[in-house]
Amino acid sequence: MENARLAKGINQVDKHGFQKQVKDKVNRKLKARHEKKSVWFGLGLFGLVGWSVAIPTLLGIAIGSWLDNHVPSRYSWTLTMLVVGVGLGCLNAWYWIKKESHHE
């Protein structure tokens, strides 16, 4: 009987501790949403957008170059995959910008 009361007491302490953790996290998130964005945030987003275009573009060039060496074709695979990589990178950048603009 005493073990059951002890377990119930421990659960109550854990429950209140968990509720406090959740409340603290919610308060931090709300505070972060209402704070003004800094220059560093803008630079970070600028870098994120740049890399989200650059990486798919470079991957497209690498895949296209490999295809040019292994799959003979009348058209340049490198240029084709470059365009595909830039297109995918722009879609990716658009996604990130749209996602960040919804937070404001």
pLDDT at position 88 is 96
| Band (90; pLDDT cuts 50, 70, 90) | very high
pLDDT at position 77 is 95
**Per residue in 27-72, pLDDT tens?**
777 776 666 667 777 777 778 888 899 999 999 999 999 999 999 8
**pTM higher than 0.85, yes or no?**
no
Q: Tokens at residue 74, please?
A: 């009348």
| Band (7; pLDDT cuts 50, 70, 90) | low
Q: Tokens at residue 19, please?
A: 């509720």
